[in-house]
Structures are given as C-alpha cells and as structure tokens.
Amino acid sequence: MTSDQPLRPLYTSSQAARHLGVSLATVRRWADAGHLAYYRTPGGQRRFSAEQLESFMTSMHQPMPVPVGAPVPDDDLHDHRQAA
C-alpha cells in the first residue's frame, strides 16, 4: 500500500491515559462507554489517534449549559422553607 500522507502515530491505552492526565482504568471505561473513540488492532488492543484524543479533550472543555452559581429551582424552594 502506498500513500502520500505520513503515518499518524497511534497511542496505546497507557499513552492515551498519560496524554489525557487520567488513569488507565479511566481510559478503558471511557472507551468502553463510547466516550472516547479508538481502533482495535488485529490482536484486540485499543489504539487511539491524536485526532481522537484531541477531539475528546475539546468536547470535555465545552461551556456549561447553566452558568456556575446560577440558582436551581430547588434551591429557591429550599431557601423559602428555611426562612419560614
């Protein structure tokens, strides 16, 4: 097989864990849950591309849908009960 594109490195589960700053068990859980995309080698081992790891990291840094510290409806109800 010939290709003009250079081969992109693939990371082992341990290397992916170091890259993401989490434990090997966490990478396995995320991969098994479908949160982290990966390839399987013919021997059944997981391999992660740099693009997959970067995409995952980007998705984890999305802004919160509700600003931190914003009141939650139950909090308002709780405050009223305390004042009574």
Question: Please, which pLDDT band fits residue 3 given cuts at 50, 70 and 90?
Answer: very low
**Global confidence as pTM:** 0.63
Compute CA 48 distance to the chain's CA centroid, rounded to the nearest angstrom: 12
Domain boundaries, the chain: 8-61
Measure the CA–CA gap between 66 and 75, rounded to whole angstroms. Answer: 14
Phi, psi angles (nearest 5°) of residue 25: -60, -35
Who contacts 76 (Cβ-Cβ below 8 Å, separation ≥6)?
A: none
Q: At which residue do the structure tokens 């009960």 appear? A: 81
Contact 42, 35 (CB under 8 A): no
- pLDDT tens-digit map of 23-58: 999 999 999 999 999 999 999 999 999 888 988 888
Q: Which CATH class is domain 8-61?
A: mainly alpha
